[in-house]
Amino acid sequence: MEYNLLNTINGSLLENFFPGGWDLKKIDRCISDKPGDIFAPQNWWNRDFAPVSCNTLADFNTFMGHEIAMNIRRSKEAGRQLVMILPVGPMGMYRWAIFFLKEWGISAEHVFGFNMDEWSDAEGNTLPPSNPASFKYAMENAFYGPLGQYTIPEAHRNFATRDNLPRYPEKIQNLLDKGAELTVVFGVGRVFHIAFWEPHFAALFSSEEEWKKQTHRLGAKLHPLTIEQNAFTSFKSRTTLVPAYANTIGPGIFLKAGWIIGGCDGAFGRGMQWQGLSLWVTLRYGPDMWVPSSFMPTLPGKLFFLKELAGPLEAECN
């Protein structure tokens, strides 16, 4: 008998831990012991979607930053406004997007930036922008500020506050109605979320159709694994500092993308990582509202990932 999670979950503390709609055996079957299999197209992938392997973190940041910059450049040269849904995580690509835009002399004045999420309390009240943990602080210091004269105008910058997030759908639709393009930049969460749209939200809706209409959520309750992911990646392991709630966009916005730019860079070094499972499931599970990231390959665009995340994903003591 194998003493693993699939055989021992019943009666354990984990019995009610995972979202109710997860099929753990199906999740495990998504993974191949041959890393090259990760590129095999699935029948639900958009024909213009492709995963892109990056050998190093430096490659990942450069390639993803170049893709963001090229997206801005193409829309500028086409004379079209560009709506960009932007994440705080991953972040390293912004340095390179700035580099390329400055090198090319391309202004982002035609871009409208919408941060996809923000830490909050249960009522949707967010951290003050002066707090280094706030996503507004991160964006101003990592992207908008360093772009200098090429930056996105302040009037075009949107952050997921209690007052502004509910206005996202109308603002974005008005821009799309005027011919703007919509690009969604994203990372994939440990529990397969996009933005902070968590898998357990699926239980709140009677159908996938209803789920897909949800544009946002204020004070969204985060899954414990999401909290731990952020404790590791953003709070120097201090779980007690991580907010338990966040404001977030929903599938009613991110599934409207005309182009997606995804990134998975979740490796810690010394053979340790957290995102390999999330990457494989995103690409192999098939569209399911209990696995939000599973819808992203149905859209045109690219998903950049660190090569080591493809595995093999085998047990190893480090």
90-102 pLDDT tens trace = 999 999 999 999 9
CA 267/CA 276 separation, integer angstroms = 9
CA 57/CA 61 separation, integer angstroms = 6
Residues of the chain with pLDDT under 70: 1-3
Structure-token pair, residue 1: 């008998």
Residue 278, SS3 per DSSP: helix
Residue 237, SS3 per DSSP: coil
The per-residue pLDDT for 180 is 98
CA 292/CA 255 separation, integer angstroms = 10
Pair type for strands 259-264 and 301-306? parallel
The CATH number assigned to the domain with range 56-310 reads: 3.40.50.1360
What are residue 292's phi and psi, to 5 degrees?
Answer: -50, -40
Asked if 133 contacts 234 with a C-beta cutoff of 8 angstroms, the reply is: yes
Site of tokens 């902070």: 196
The strand pairing partners of 111, in sequence order, are: 82
Ranges of each domain in the chain: 56-310
What count of other Cβ atoms lies within 10 Å of the Cβ of residue 232? 16
Pair type for strands 111-115 and 216-221? unpaired
Asked if 259 contacts 181 with a C-beta cutoff of 8 angstroms, the reply is: yes
Helix (H) or strand (E) holding 123: none
Residue 99, SS3 per DSSP: helix
CA 29/CA 162 separation, integer angstroms = 40
The per-residue pLDDT for 10 is 78
Site of tokens 């639900």: 44
Smallest Cα–Cα separation from 86: which of 262, 234, 293? 262
